[in-house]
Structure 1
Amino acid sequence: MAVQKIKPTTIEEYIHAASPAVQEKLWKLHACILKAAPGASEALKWRMPAYSYDKILVTFAVFKNHIGFYPMPSVLAAFTKELSSYQTAKGSVQFPIDKPLPLPLISKMVKFRVKESKEGIIKWRS
């Protein structure tokens, strides 16, 4: 009989479903986001952990060699210099699994999204 994979329904289940080697990083990322966005609601959106006020602030996802962090293009534009050593795309940045997470930088990016949310210029819907 094959073992049935359970589809995560919470951020905690998502983190527990990751490989043990990555779980510690994900717990730190989760805590960092919550500290930078106090009171943010938590959910899975597009099968990724998502943190929102009235609209989504940030999401992340685990891949084989990196953690994808999705803070939106406005954040990447604001933090271009700080993100220069990471692979980025239009609205995402890749943090290599084999390197420490830049938690202070992640905190600044989340706080930037919180500021955008408070100013009403945030684009993602929850």
Structure 2
Amino acid sequence: MTLISEYIEAAPAEQKPHLEALYRLAKELLPEATEKISYGIPTFYQHENLLHFAGMQKHLGFYPTPKVIEHFAAQLVSYKTSKGAVQFPYQKPLPEALIRKMILERKKELRLK
């Protein structure tokens, strides 16, 4: 069991479906990345932190970097965002297609460095 699996296992039941879905997407799209807990939350790392995510009380926090959030600003208008974070409420289905695109954009951003 990984540290991220343990984090998800310890999360409240209402958070688990969103956490598991995001974890599954990140594992699929970032197979070379190392999984760890950084800043107390699940992190995918490859030469630098690629993305973080976390179960919050009312939403899943997704932290793919400010550039990625800026790049997808038009598609994120129905979600609360900040410079480096997106909030996906547990009451709404997780937008997996959008998250997939965001993770791939983050991966592309890493390759350009």
TM-score (normalised: structure 1): 0.85
Q: Aligned residues, how many?
A: 112
Q: What does 1:65-84 align with in structure 2 at a 5 Å threshold?
A: 65-84=58-77
> How far is 1:97 from its partner?
1.1
Q: What does 1:10-21 align with in structure 2 at a 5 Å threshold?
A: 10-21=3-14
Partner AA of 1:91 in structure 2: G
Corresponding residue SS for 2:91: coil
**Counterpart in the other structure of 1:123:** none
Distance 1:113 1:36 in 2: 10
Distance 1:60 1:14 in 2: 11
RMSD of the alignment, in Å? 1.1
The structure with more radius of gyration = 1
Share of identical aligned residues, percent?
Answer: 40
List structure 1 runs of 4+ shifted beyond 3 angstroms: none
Residues 33 and 106 in structure 1, CA contact (< 8 A), matched pair in contact too? no
**Counterpart in the other structure of 1:94:** 87
Quick check: which one's helix share is greater?
2
Distance 1:116 1:52 in 2: 14
**Counterpart in the other structure of 2:52:** 59
**Counterpart in the other structure of 1:42:** 35
Distance 1:76 1:36 in 2: 18
Unaligned 5+ segments in structure 2 are none
Corresponding residue SS for 2:74: coil
Q: What does 1:21-32 align with in structure 2 at a 5 Å threshold?
A: 21-32=14-25
Corresponding residue SS for 1:20: coil
Distance 2:94 2:35 in 1: 21
**Counterpart in the other structure of 1:111:** 104
Unaligned 5+ segments in structure 1 are 1-8, 121-126
